[in-house]
C-alpha cells in the first residue's frame, strides 16, 4: 500500500502551504490514538493506531525523516490504507531502537490532487530509551525523550525491568518532567532490560523500545559475616570474618573505630583477592574501651560494594561491696544471629576459670556472692570473664563466641589470732594456734618465741598451726609465748602483727 510516487511528489510540493492549517486539532482530522514500539518477527518496530473517520476513503501515513542528500528532515508519505476501518499500521522500516520516530496521519481523498485532502493529524513521537552501565557504582542510568502527541497531559512514566530474559516487571514511576531514572544494585554478569511507558490522563499508553545492558563487573560478595571480636590472653583483640566464596572483589579493608565515634579508620588492607576467611589480631586496642570492627569489600574504583555486620569486643568491669561482687559489661553487637546468652566464669587466686552462671541476651549484669568463701580461707583474688554466644539464627551457619576482657577484684585479707590455746581441749580448734582469715594472703610468715627468745615454731604455710610444742620433741608446756606474723595481701601491701599467746591446760 505504498503511496504512488507522482502523488508523493505533489504532496511534498503542497505540504508547506498546508502545515499552518494543520496545526488546528479537529475531530474531522485523523489523529493517532497511540504510538508504541512492538516486536514483530524478532524486531522492534513502531506501531500506531488512529481514530476512524466515517466516510474516509483511506489514510496516508507520514514519517519525519532525513534524505540521504538532504540534511533537512522532511515529512515523507510512507504508506496508504484504502478503507475507513483500516486504522492501524506497523512501520517495517522504522528504527525506534536508534532514535525517536515521528509520525502523523493524513486523510486520503480521491477528489483531491495527489489523493491527499490536506487534513493531517498531530505529530506523535515514539519514546526512545537509552541506558548506560556504571561498573564503579553497579548502577544503570536510564534516559528517554518525552512522548509527544496527546492533547491531554501525561501523568507519569512507568519503568519496567527484566532480568536475564525474565518477564518485565514494574519497578518505578517518574513524574512527567523527569525523563531519567537510576537503577542501583546491579548483579555481576547479569543482563538487565528496560522499557518506558508513558501514561496519559485518559489512560492512553505508549511503550518505548527495549534497551538492555550487561553488568560486566567483578562479582561482589553476597555477604561478609563478622564472626566475632574476642579478647585473647587479656592482651589483644582477635577479629575474624567469613566471606562469600563466590566473590571476586580484589581488596578488603578492615575498619575500626571507638564505639559510637565517627569515622572508621582503616586498620589493615588485604589485596590478594578473596581469601574466604580473614583473621586479624589487634595488639594496640585498649581493652578498657569498646571497639567496633567491620570488613569492607572495595571494587577497583575504590567504592565499597559489601560491608560486614559490626563486631565489638566485650569490656568487663566489676566492684565489690562487702562480699558481693557486681559485674557489668557492654552488650555484644551485632551478630547476624543475635546473642543467645552470656556465660560468666570465675577464677580464684589465679586458678582455672570455672563457669558460675549465665544471663540471657538482654541482661549484661551479674552479682557474685562470695561470702561463703570466708570460712574456706581461699586466696583473696577473684577474677572474672564473660563469654557471649551467638544464637542459632545466623543465615551462614556460623556460631560466634566472644570472650571479654578479664576483671579482677582483690579482697582485703582480715587476719586474727587467738590469745590462748588449750592443747588438751575436747574442742579441736582450741588445741592449735592458727590465724583466722577472711581470705588467704599472697605471702605468709609466722614465727613463735618462748620467754627466753628462743624460736619454737616457724612456718610459711597459712594452713599450718602450732600445737604448743616448745620444740625438740618436748610436750606442750604452759606459759606465755611471743608471735610475729608478716603477710602480703593480693595488692602487694605488707601487714605485720606481733602479740602474745598463752598455752593453758584444762584441769
84-102 pLDDT tens trace = 999 999 999 999 999 999 9
Q: What is the pLDDT of residues 43-57, one digit of tens each?
A: 999 999 999 988 888
Buried b or exposed e, range 384-419, using 16+ CB within 10 angstroms: bbbbbbbeeebeeebebebbbbbbebbbebebebbe
Write down the pTM of the prediction: 0.67
Q: What is the pLDDT of residues 364-384, one digit of tens each?
A: 999 999 988 876 667 778 999
Chain centroid to Cα 255, Å, comes to 13
At 402, the pLDDT band (50, 70, 90 cuts) reads very high
Which of 108, 125, 129 is CA-nearest to residue 117?
108
**Nine-digit cell string for 352:** 582455672
Mean pLDDT, rounded, for 214-238: 95
Kindly state the helix (H) or strand (E) to which residue 8 belongs, with its residue range. Answer: helix 5-22
Note the CATH architecture for domain 224-304.
Sandwich (2.60)
Mean pLDDT, rounded, for 454-460: 92
* Antiparallel, parallel or unpaired: β 277-282 and 236-243: antiparallel
**Nine-digit cell string for 484:** 610475729
Chain centroid to Cα 91, Å, comes to 51
Task: Find all residues with CB under 8 Å of 494, minimum gap 6, and list them.
Answer: 486, 487, 488
- Measured over all CA atoms, what is the biggest interatomic distance in the chain, rounded to whole angstroms? 156
Interatomic CA distance for residues 4 and 499, integer angstroms? 136
Interatomic CA distance for residues 172 and 157, integer angstroms? 9
Class at the top of the CATH hierarchy for domain 129-214: mainly beta
More confident residue, 116 or 311: 311
Q: What is the structure's pLDDT at 158?
A: 98
At 182, the pLDDT band (50, 70, 90 cuts) reads very high
Interatomic CA distance for residues 100 and 94, integer angstroms? 10
Interatomic CA distance for residues 230 and 243, integer angstroms? 19
Q: What is the structure's pLDDT at 434?
A: 87
Q: What is the structure's pLDDT at 70?
A: 54
Structure-derived torsion over alpha carbons of residues 307, 310, 313, 317, reported in degrees to the nearest 10: 160
**Nine-digit cell string for 496:** 605485720
The answer to whether residue 320 scores a pLDDT higher than 60 is yes
Q: Worst-scoring range by mean pLDDT, 31-40, 270-279, 410-419? A: 410-419
Instruction: Give the start-to-end residue ranges of the domains of the chain.
Output: 5-125, 129-214, 224-304, 316-410, 415-503
Q: What is the structure's pLDDT at 11?
A: 34
How far apart, in Å, are the Cα atoms of 9 and each of 57, 109, 440?
Answer: 20, 16, 118
Contact indicator for 62, 94 with CB cutoff of 8 Å = no
Note the CATH architecture for domain 415-503.
Sandwich (2.60)
Mean pLDDT, rounded, for 447-472: 88
CATH superfamily of 316-410: Immunoglobulins (2.60.40.10)
- Percent of the chain scored above 70 by pLDDT? 90
The CB density around residue 27, as the number of other CB atoms within 10 Å, is 8
Interatomic CA distance for residues 367 and 355, integer angstroms? 14
Query: 226 - beta bridge partners?
Result: 241
- Percent of the chain scored above 90 by pLDDT? 64
Interatomic CA distance for residues 220 and 138, integer angstroms? 10
Task: Find all residues with CB under 8 Å of 96, minimum gap 6, and list them.
Answer: 37, 44, 45, 46, 126, 128, 208, 209
Q: What is the structure's pLDDT at 116?
A: 64
How far apart, in Å, are the Cα atoms of 302 and each of 14, 135, 223, 253, 256?
Answer: 62, 11, 18, 11, 18
Which of 141, 278, 136 is CA-nearest to residue 218?
136
Tell me 371's DSSP state.
G
Q: What is the structure's pLDDT at 41?
A: 87
Contact indicator for 483, 446 with CB cutoff of 8 Å = yes
Q: Worst-scoring range by mean pLDDT, 105-109, 284-288, 292-296? A: 105-109
Q: What is the structure's pLDDT at 411?
A: 81
Give the end-to-end CA distance of the chain in Å, rounded to a whole number: 144
Angle 77-82-84 from CA coordinates, rounded to 5°: 110
Q: What is the structure's pLDDT at 15?
A: 34
Q: Worst-scoring range by mean pLDDT, 17-21, 173-177, 261-265? A: 17-21
374 — phi, psi (to 5°)? -65, -35
Q: Worst-scoring range by mean pLDDT, 11-25, 417-431, 468-482? A: 11-25
Which of 388, 223, 407, 398 is CA-nearest to residue 312?
388
**Nine-digit cell string for 67:** 534524505
Q: What is the structure's pLDDT at 98?
A: 93
Interatomic CA distance for residues 444 and 447, integer angstroms? 10
Contact indicator for 257, 291 with CB cutoff of 8 Å = yes
Query: What CATH number should be reported for the domain whose range is 5-125?
Result: 2.60.40.10
How far apart, in Å, are the Cα atoms of 117 and each of 11, 112, 114, 138?
Answer: 10, 6, 8, 54
Kindly state the helix (H) or strand (E) to which residue 65 belongs, with its residue range. Answer: strand 59-67
Asked whether the domain spanning 415-503 has the same topology as the one spanning 224-304, the reply is yes
Which of 205, 222, 220, 124 is CA-nearest to residue 160?
205
Amino acid at each position: 500500500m505504498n503511496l504512488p510516487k507522482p502523488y508523493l511528489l505533489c504532496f511534498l510540493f503542497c505540504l508547506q502551504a498546508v502545515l499552518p492549517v494543520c496545526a488546528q486539532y479537529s475531530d474531522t482530522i485523523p489523529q493517532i490514538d497511540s504510538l508504541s514500539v512492538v516486536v514483530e518477527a524478532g524486531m522492534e518496530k513502531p506501531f500506531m493506531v488512529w481514530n476512524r473517520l466515517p466516510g474516509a476513503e483511506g489514510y496516508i501515513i507520514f514519517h519525519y525523516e532525513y534524505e540521504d542528500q538532504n540534511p533537512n528532515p522532511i515529512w515523507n508519505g510512507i504508506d496508504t490504507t484504502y478503507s475507513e476501518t483500516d486504522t492501524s499500521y506497523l512501520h517495517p522500516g522504522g528504527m525506534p531502537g536508534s532514535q525517536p520516530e515521528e509520525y502523523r496521519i493524513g486523510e486520503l481523498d480521491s477528489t483531491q490532487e495527489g489523493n491527499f485532502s490536506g487534513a493531517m493529524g498531530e505529530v506523535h513521537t515514539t519514546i526512545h530509551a537509552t541506558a548506560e552501565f556504571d561498573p564503579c557504582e553497579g548502577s544503570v542510568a536510564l534516559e528517554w525523550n518525552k512522548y509527544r502527541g496527546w492533547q491531554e497531559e501525561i501523568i507519569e512514566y512507568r519503568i519496567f525491568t527484566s532480568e536475564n530474559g525474565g518477564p518485565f516487571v514494574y519497578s518505578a514511576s517518574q513524574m512527567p518532567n523527569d525523563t531519567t531514572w537510576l537503577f542501583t544494585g546491579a548483579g555481576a554478569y547479569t543482563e538487565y532490560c528496560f522499557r518506558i511507558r508513558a501514561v496519559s490522563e485518559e489512560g492512553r499508553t505508549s511503550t518505548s523500545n527495549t534497551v538492555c545492558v550487561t553488568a560486566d563487573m567483578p562479582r561482589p560478595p553476597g555477604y561478609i559475616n563478622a564472626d566475632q571480636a574476642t579478647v585473647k590472653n587479656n592482651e589483644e583483640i582477635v577479629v575474624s570474618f567469613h566471606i562469600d566464596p563466590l566473590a571476586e572483589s580484589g581488596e578488603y579493608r578492615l575498619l575500626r573505630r571507638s564505639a559510637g565515634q565517627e569515622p572508621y579508620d582503616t586498620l589493615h588492607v588485604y589485596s590478594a583477592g578473596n581469601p574466604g576467611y580473614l583473621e586479624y589480631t589487634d595488639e594496640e586496642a585498649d581493652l578498657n574501651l569498646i571497639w567496633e570492627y567491620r570488613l569492607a569489600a572495595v571494587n577497583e574504583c575504590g567504592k565499597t560494594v559489601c560491608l560486614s555486620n559490626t563486631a565489638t569486643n566485650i569490656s568487663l568491669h566489676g566492684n565489690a561491696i562487702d562480699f558481693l561482687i557486681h559485674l557489668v559489661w557492654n552488650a555484644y553487637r551485632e551478630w547476624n544471629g543475635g546473642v543467645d546468652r552470656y556465660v560468666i566464669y570465675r577464677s580464684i587466686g589465679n586458678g582455672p576459670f570455672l563457669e558460675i552462671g549465665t544471663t540471657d541476651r538482654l541482661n549484661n549484669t551479674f552479682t557474685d556472692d562470695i561470702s561463703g568463701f570466708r570460712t574456706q580461707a581461699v586466696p583473696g583474688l577473684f577474677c572474672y570473664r564473660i563469654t557471649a554466644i551467638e544464637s542459632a539464627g545466623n543465615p551462614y551457619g556460623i556460631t560466634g563466641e566472644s570472650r571479654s576482657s578479664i576483671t579482677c577484684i582483690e579482697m582485703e585479707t582480715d587476719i586474727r589470732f587467738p590469745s590462748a590455746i588449750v592443747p588438751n581441749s575436747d574442742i579441736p580448734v582450741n588445741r592449735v594456734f592458727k590465724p583466722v582469715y577472711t581470705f588467704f594472703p599472697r605471702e605468709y610468715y609466722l614465727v613463735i618465741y618462748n620467754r627466753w627468745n628462743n624460736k619454737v615454731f616457724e612456718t610459711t604455710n597459712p594452713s599450718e598451726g602450732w600445737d604448743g610444742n616448745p620444740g625438740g620433741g618436748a610436750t606442750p608446756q604452759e606459759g606465755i609465748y611471743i608471735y610475729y606474723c608478716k603477710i602480703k595481701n593480693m595488692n602487694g601491701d605488707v601487714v605485720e602483727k606481733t602479740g602474745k599467746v598463752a598455752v593453758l591446760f584444762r584441769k
